[in-house]
Amino acid sequence: MWRCPIKSAVPSQTHRSSSLLCDNRVMTDESPIHTVHKRVCHTFLRHWKAHNNAYPKLIKMTPEELRQFNIVNSFGKPNELWGVPIEIDPSTTGVMIAVDGTEMPLVEGY
C-alpha cells in the first residue's frame, strides 16, 4: 500500500503534491497510480524470466502513466527504473522493449 509522502496535521486534509490531489488516505491496489507501478514491475519479472535475468532496453508509456509512475517512484530517478530509461510515447499502450528488441506489453501477472 502507498501513502502520500506529505504528512498533514489533519488526516483528512487535502493538499497538492506533484500536481496530484492528495488526501493522505491509503491508496488501494485498484488506484491508477499503484496499477501503473505494478504493471511495470510485473513486466520486469517476466522479462528477467524470459531473458536470463537481463535488463530491458527501454520502457514506453503515455505522459499520464509516466506522471503517475514518477509519483510512486519518487525516491528513484525520474523517468527511469533500475537504470532502464522510460520514454514518453502518447500513442503507446505501454510496452517494455526487451533486450532482444521485441515489445512486451506492460500488463499485470507474471
Query: 61-102, pLDDT tens digit by residue?
Result: 999 999 988 888 888 888 999 999 999 999 999 999 999 999
| Entry pTM | 0.68
The pLDDT tens digits for 41-56 are: 999 999 999 999 999 9
SS3 94: coil
Walk me through the domains of the chain, giving residue ranges and CATH numbers. Answer: 30-105 (3.30.2320)
β-pair type (58-61, 84-88): parallel
Distance CA 80, CA 75 (A): 11
